[in-house]
Amino acid sequence: MPVHRLRPVRLLLAALVATLLAAVSLPASAADTPARGSAYMGIGVLAHDGQNGTPRDTRATQTEGVDVSGHQGNVAWSTLWSSGVKWAYVKATEGTYYTNPYFAQQYNGSYNVGMIRGSYHFATPDTTGGATQADYFVDHGGGWSKDGRTLPGALDIEWNPYGASCYGKTQSGMVTWIRDFLNRYKARTGRDAVIYTATSWWTECTGNYAGFATANPLWIARYASTVGTLPAGWGYYTMWQYTSSGPTVGDHDKFNGALDRVQALANG
């Protein structure tokens, strides 16, 4: 083959080799970073806290629930209802750049089968302020109405799947961000938002701050037979995400009370 015809082939091969080498040398942390918007409630629980069983049967009355995001796509709500699930939370937003494309099917679908449902916001404190994200949440599915079937919005504040666990904030800076979100959410809706978190993250990233416990219900994340130690200030949990491997939908939760207590939270 003439030399002038070989040169393009060699250039192509060189480019392919360079691309392969770049892919191989990509740092693991960068290669494992999920796409913005793909986070979901409990995304960091297994990696940071592990899984140690499921809740034991007790005499305490609890009500089964689920939480879903765009990760689940269209959800089989009738199947969940038949299995005993009576309440649900649906991811509405993340940061100020993402809305769940399956939100309508999930939020309305859970309601239509009879569930009490609410929506949640995945916080990204490194992108915009707390008040700004609260506004985005309320404006894109995070509102509340006293219809007896709508739970107050939940702030999902946990490990950062896109970078440093505490989003580059100091403990006091994180507390301020959370306070800004909660204050704006209440100003917009009249309700105190639920706080979803894990004790280990809360301790590391807020210094185990106790100041929100009097007003904001706690939704604790722990995949074990008991909830373990709760964050400072909270003497009990309102909701408990206890597994990411349940039937139909992986993320299952228990409400700390009978169905009438779920209704009471919905009514405010």
Q: Which active-site residues does the annotation give? A: 67, 156, 158
Query: 2-6 long-range CB contacts below 8 Å, 24 or more apart?
Result: none
Distances (CA, A) of 128 to 95, 148, 167, 186: 7, 32, 11, 19
Q: Are 155 and 120 in contact (CB under 8 A)?
A: yes
Residue 249 contacts residue 72 (beta carbons within 8 Å): yes
C-alpha to C-alpha distance for 185 and 120, rounded to whole angstroms: 12
Strands 252-255 and 63-68, by their bridges, are: antiparallel
User: In which element (H, E) is residue 220 found?
Assistant: strand 218-221
Whether the Cβ atoms of residue 187 and residue 144 lie closer than 8 Å to each other: no
